[in-house]
Amino acid sequence: MISVVSGAGSQASLRRSCRRVVLAATLAVAFTLLTASGGSFATTPSAAACSQTKTFITGTPDQSLLSILGVLRRQATPADALPASVKEAFARPIFRMLGREILVNYIRRARVVAGTSYYVMPVLYTGCGAFGRGESMMLWAGGSGGGAGTAATIERGSAYATLGSFGHTTIETLIPDGVATVTLHYPAGKIGGFDRGHAPAITITTNVVGNLLIVTVPRGGNRLMAPMTMTWRAADGATVKTFSRL
């Protein structure tokens, strides 16, 4: 069995390559939603309603998010400001049609890994498009991003994003307050995904920074989710929660 203690280590060039693919996929999905009804932005009723969506709004996130994410409760600093290129991207019609409004005063740079800044932010879905009305979190880093879960899914450990490569997957997930480290254990078995090989058992423990966990594991596809165990621990080492799958 391999045991690894992980901090902020990552494969920066691989991550940037994966993120370019994710951004392309994001734009493709948005385009599919736009054209699925056979009309243009102007002639699709839901899309027309979404055209009135504001990119950034003021206001306060729902208490369900504020109560579990200390990164949102801390005072904003200049480092939390989104790069101009990201703000410009969010203002594009293809993103507005999702009906997503960002609570601008609660954008936070949660952490920096291998030179990449990871921003988390609460968003309000207005219900004008393909998504129902509600409030959740979004994660953005290195030119791409997406949904990071509601308060309920964050607390259940079921809201996460993945960036895959041959034989490895990077997991990005928000973790609620009170969790200092996360341990992932995978038994020996198939790597999964496009890799048909086998890997020994591995246990990886990594720190949570700014309520954000980022860790790379040697698994892919459905083997990323199970069989495995995920254990949340407090700063004193006490177990907070244990999950039987990702």
- How far from each other are the two terminal CA atoms of the chain, in whole angstroms? 20
Query: Which of 204 and 143 is assigned the larger pLDDT?
Result: 204
Q: Tell me the β-bridge partners of 192.
A: 195, 220
CA distances from 78 to 82, 85, 105, 168, 213 (A): 9, 16, 12, 34, 23
Q: How far apart are CA 184 and CA 205, in angstroms?
A: 6
* Whole-angstrom Cα Rg for the chain: 19
Q: Where are the domains of the chain?
A: 2-10+175-243, 12-155
Residue 94 has pLDDT above 80, yes or no: no
Q: How far apart are CA 233 and CA 239, in angstroms?
A: 4
What pLDDT sits at residue 201? 96
Q: Are 31 and 94 in contact (CB under 8 A)?
A: yes
Q: Across residues 66-78, what is the average pLDDT? A: 98
CA of residue 57 relative to chain centroid, distance: 21
* pTM of the predicted protein model: 0.80
What pLDDT sits at residue 47? 57
